[in-house]
Amino acid sequence: MKVKKAVITAAAESQRALPLQTLIDRDGQEKSVLAILVEQVLVGHVDEIGVVVYPGDEAPYSRAVAKHLGHVRFLPQNNARGYGQAVWCARDFTAGQPFLHLVGDHLYVHTTGAGPASGLLDVAEAEECSVSGVQITRESLLPNFGALGGRRLPGRQGLYRIETVIEKPTPTEAEQKLGVSGLRAGHYLCFFGMHVLTPTVMDILGRQLADAAPGARIPLSTALAELARQEQYLALEETHRRYDIGARYGLLTAQLALALNGRDRADVLANLVELLAAQQAIAAGSQR
């Protein structure tokens, strides 16, 4: 299984401006979030990228990835019916092929190697199946993520067979249905926001859309749960970090993560120390 295409979803009305935000990347260059994501995909040797956008956003998105426009095609989500339907909007683009999928409101920062996309692609192509990136997450954060249950693959470090998928489960639901042997109590495998998916996912989404009530929203998680029942579906534990840029201070946190893992690390650390020292001095003065 060779993955040649990627799909980035960025059409949600409340999140559509996030991929256009500008940050300083690890190389010290100013780039949009979307451009950083596109470059991470290209490093994984996937050079056809479909970006699912809100209708009419094609022009600003084109400017945001002007340097890589030859690799990018924009796919409007004309009927906003949820995350699953956004992915399904790329069905003609993927054309029955497996694809790498990223969400446009997360930024992925790696400290070593080529990055999380390359690791997922390696496993998916070797195992010839869908693979989702996951991170061990404490239960207080379950309202923010899709989560899964399954079992470790013997002799395979950080690799799991997915058996159950639930979108944003309650702690009680997670305890009852999403236990994974070897994880600490109160910790679960939650999605990283990056997947390699087989064409079966598009087939499942198509059936779910056809069966749903008119206008009903279709989540991706229910399609992934069905995928786990139909064929081998693996999870790869990620050592890299994901940052939700739509969260409170998310963009700031992502920028700090990029800076502290980039060429300007020393300068950024010096500025942070100076800022903290100034704040401490102000606090000490106010207590006199």
Give the domain CATH number at 19. 3.90.550.10
Compute the radius of gyration of the chain from its Cα atoms: 20
- Within-domain flag for 153: no
The reported pLDDT for the residue numbered 202 is 98
The reported pLDDT for the residue numbered 39 is 94
Domain carrying residue 233: 5-129+192-286
Task: Please give the distance of CA 15 from its chain centroid, rounded to a whole number.
Answer: 14
What is the pairing mode between strands 233-237 and 159-167?
A: antiparallel
Three-class SS state of 165: strand
- Within-domain flag for 184: no
d(C-alpha 67, C-alpha 7), whole Å: 18
d(C-alpha 117, C-alpha 17), whole Å: 23
- Within-domain flag for 108: yes
- Within-domain flag for 143: no
- Within-domain flag for 170: no
- Within-domain flag for 171: no
CA distances 169 to 58, 104, 117, 204, 238, Å, are 35, 23, 26, 22, 21
d(C-alpha 288, C-alpha 284), whole Å: 7
> Which residues, including other chains, have CB under 8 Å from residue 122's CB and lie 6 or more apart?
none
- The two three-digit tokens of residue 190, written as one number: 């939650």
CA distances 208 to 94, 197, 204, 267, Å, are 18, 17, 6, 51
- The two three-digit tokens of residue 139, written as one number: 């239960």
- Within-domain flag for 269: yes
d(C-alpha 226, C-alpha 155), whole Å: 26
- Within-domain flag for 58: yes
From first to last of the 288 residues of the chain, give the pLDDT tens digit.
899 999 999 998 888 999 999 999 999 999 999 999 999 999 999 999 999 999 999 999 999 999 999 999 999 999 889 999 999 999 999 999 999 999 999 999 977 667 789 999 999 999 999 999 999 999 999 998 999 999 999 988 899 999 999 999 999 999 999 989 889 999 999 999 999 999 999 999 999 999 999 999 999 999 999 999 999 999 999 988 899 999 999 999 999 999 999 999 999 999 999 999 999 888 887 776
Q: What is the pLDDT of residues 212-247, one digit of tens each?
A: 999 999 999 999 999 999 999 999 999 888 999 999
Give the total number of structural domains in the chain. 1
